[in-house]
A and B are shown apart, each in its own frame.
Chain A
């Protein structure tokens, strides 16, 4: 099965933390990414630009509506994701828990829709 690991955290706090010398999670992220590439779980993943660059798209009555900003106002914003292959939810949860931001934010684990053909 494939899973999308979505990384939620307060992007303002995260940016502040990144600006502090020695506080950035970048080395940890690199190590984590390398480790799931080596273990064969990695399918893809990216860091996202902050929500100030986001656009939300909706379709109503067949019309495309675009709004500035993220989909909802919450304290945490989607900051990145991993698309992983895991044999079941337990493995996916285990990997999600290893994402550095799981400590300060939340990771949503969402199964990828499987099409039968």
Chain B
């Protein structure tokens, strides 16, 4: 086996192996260090004779023995440590190919611990990317556009809090499960949205994060198929991500939905997303927000062109969203859809009423939507001012270039 092939197997198995190790040894840092030791051992051992039949169990067992070695090597080895060693030895993992130790349950424990509400949302995301997805600290730092050292510090503090504050390593009980699941879905969606439309920096789309979010969504759906709205969320991510090849041009500039070459969209992924939306919509009870958003994305994905999109139904779905999960961003999207049904004048009234209420002061897409509506109403001077405001409000270089293009077009047309 080549080192690359070994690393690939390791990457695939590391999350679950770590989840089980944390339960066995009761300590995040000890488990992480031991898993790294096991990876080093795998690089030597697997090279000659290939990966074992159950690489995950192999990694857990080797890492477990490394933990025992580490604890025994400690100078102040005492009774308490002896007990830990005994417990770890007792819980040895069988080499059978089935799941005798409950890897799945451990993975859920790990996800719920990383997404614990005692952490700030961005810490939940960082911890999930590092431990559940197995990204390196440097990769997580890049995701947050921050330095590696600062991120390492943040992760150390988070793991300290798990230990010192007694954050439990368990799947929440029935009474709080739904609420905690919503928290997990929020973390997955945060990973995705940062990947799909970065909030700053030179690149518009961060494929790595979008991919990780979809992987997390699939993982969670596999672990809890009945989780409310997980199908809707996974469908939403798949349908949005399916359009990614069309969202930027060769120079990395943004291409708006109305100008996208729809032949570049990933049809296989769209089919998967559509099937999931249908399943999610069939669930009885009140419609779930991610599912409704996915249904909107599904209408876009199925439309032959921007003009031939079922805007009337999209407006209706946004109205559902405004009822079940109202937010200024949904209001803005609703207004943009209304412009395609009732024309830009009515939409502008909605946007202006939203702006007057001050709901979206920090949100850079409001002046952009406004500018577009004013341009379509041929109110050029106001459109110019709005594009300039949009450009000032965003930190994304490709968006700034888009607004500059629009300004130039307005100048040419006059």
Contacts and interface: CB of A to CB of B under 8 A. Distances in A.
A27 to B, nearest CB: 26
B227 interface: no
Interface stretch (B54-62, B160-168, B286-294): B160-168
A99 interface: no
A96 B116 CA distance: 17
Given A89-B118, A93-B118, A111 B168 contact: no
Interface string A73-87: 000000000000011
Nearest to B180: A90
A23 B389 CA distance: 51
Contacts of A92: 166
Most B C-beta atoms less than 10 A away, residue of A87, A92, A93: A93
Interface residues of A, number: 10
Nearest to A94: B176
A88 interface: yes
Contacts of A37: none
A90 B118 CA distance: 9
Interface string B140-181: 000000000000000000000000111110001000100000
Contacts of B165: 89, 109, 111
Nearest to B80: A116
A26 B168 CA distance: 33
B164 A90 contact: no
A93 B176 CA distance: 12
A88 B171 CA distance: 13
A111 B168 CA distance: 13
A1 interface: yes
A2 B206 CA distance: 44
A88 B116 CA distance: 13
Nearest to A114: B164
B167 A88 contact: yes
Contacts of A88: 166-168
Nearest to A3: B166
A89 B167 CA distance: 5
Contacts of A93: 118
A93 B117 CA distance: 10
Interface in A50-96: 86-90, 92-93
A101 B127 CA distance: 32
B166 A1 contact: yes
A89 B118 CA distance: 9
A107 to B, nearest CB: 13
Interface in B157-210: 164-168, 172, 176
7 contacts: A87-B166, A88-B167, A89-B165, A90-B168, A90-B172, A92-B166, A111-B165
Interface of A: 1, 86-90, 92-93, 109, 111
Top 6 A-B pairs, shortest CB-CB distance: A88-B168, A88-B166, A89-B166, A1-B166, A111-B165, A89-B165
Interface of B: 116, 118, 164-168, 172, 176
